Structure 1
Amino acid sequence: MKKHIVTLIFTVVLLIGGTTESFAASLTYTVQKGDTLYKIASTHKITVNELKKRNDLKSNIIQPTQKLTIVKSNAEVNGKPVEKKVAKTPSRSSDDNVLKEFTVNASAYTASCNGCSGITSTGINLKRNPDAKVIAVDPTVIPLGTKVYVEGYGYAIAGDIGGSIKGNKIDLFFPTKAEAYKWGRKSVKIKILK
């Protein structure tokens, strides 16, 4: 289960970057009480040395609330530059990556409401990853884990469900209530991607 959650979070991070470049976006992890570099590195499938190098750490000492970069933010793998490839914008006529396109009623939600845990049904912690692009879906219409492109929102992943999300309705995650209210409710085109 943990492996699937880490894979899902990594996919979301890549979607946020909007590129096909390997390790295109950075994931920031906030150190929790009891964490060690080894535990964090193991969870994110990297070595302690890589973690220390990415964060310019000279020792193994970390503190709660300290922010660590997990994935490189620049185009470099194993210390060598990687050529950046910008992903094509999905379209019906020219992109083979679009499996289906249809119109949905899109509302917005946030993890900062009273009583909200901030953890999606697939295990994504939205409070720790406020820049994640996650949508709540009816899994009978859009399966959980599906990569999507939402008009006016961007690339996202179907990572949550909601009690009132039925049929062609989605709920878009925003980090603040103000952003969620600004979105409101609207009809938008959604593209289901390979």
Structure 2
Amino acid sequence: MAAVDIENTIEAREVKNTTIKQDLNVVKLAEDERVERKVAKSETKVDEHKDSSSIGDDEWILFELTAYSNHYASTQKNPGDKMYGITYSGRPTVEGRTVAADINRYPIGTVLYIDGVGERVVDDTGGAIKKNRLDVYFKSEQDALNFGRKKNVKVKIIKMGDGK
């Protein structure tokens, strides 16, 4: 009988320890969410005329955003054409990563955080993409069209690129 009690006690401790670990994970997740909310609320400075050399860690710049894809309407290239799907940097376009910018202000490799879009890397340029305009890459032409044009979007420079 004593052996059964010991096994039950060990199982009970394992269950208790598991429960405690799960409770700690829940608490930690809640703390992370609160930190993210505090950060989001505190990062509200916006200046539409600043250039990247004077941006502080908690400052945002206002941009106009458009979207493009590899399709002919965006690039005047067709599948099979030389450089189809290849950015100015020589890297392939990747949805969720690629953005075109004015490389005189934001060199190739610059990492940006775009409010409502997420983190993107400057890998491309565009004829109409000057100053504080960005062109966000989408794999689907329809998704690019649906994105449309967005004005006064907050963008933060995470890391300036090296032009490569």
User: How far did 1:91 drift?
Assistant: 5.0
Q: 1:118 aligns with which of 85, 91, 101?
A: 85
Matches within 5 A, 1:52-67: none
User: 1:130-183: CA deviations, max 9, x gaps?
Assistant: x34211000122221111111121111011111111111110001101110111
For 2:146, what is the secondary structure of its paired residue?
A: helix
Contact 2:66 2:147 in 1 (8 A): yes
More helix by share: 2
- Using the aligned pairs only, state the percent identity: 31
Aligned to 2:62: 103
| TM-score normalised according to structure 1 size | 0.47
Change in Cα spacing, 1:93 to 1:99, as seen in structure 2 (3 Å) is closer
Unaligned runs of 5+ in 1: 1-85
RMSD over aligned Cα, in angstroms? 2.5
Counterpart residue type for residue 102 of structure 1: I
| TM-score normalised according to structure 2 size | 0.55
Contact 1:99 1:192 in 2 (8 A): no
Q: What stretches of structure 1 move > 6 A for 4+ residues in a row?
A: none
User: 1:87-126: CA deviations, max 9, x gaps?
Assistant: x8675847xx947520011000001225151100011212
Aligned to 2:113: 149
Q: How many residues align?
A: 103
Q: Which moved more, 1:164-173 or 1:99-108?
A: 99-108
CA distance in 1, matches of 2:121, 2:41: 19
User: 1:58-81: CA deviations, max 9, x gaps?
Assistant: xxxxxxxxxxxxxxxxxxxxxxxx
Q: 1:185 aligns with which of 125, 130, 149?
A: 149
Unaligned runs of 5+ in 2: 1-31, 44-55, 79-83, 160-164
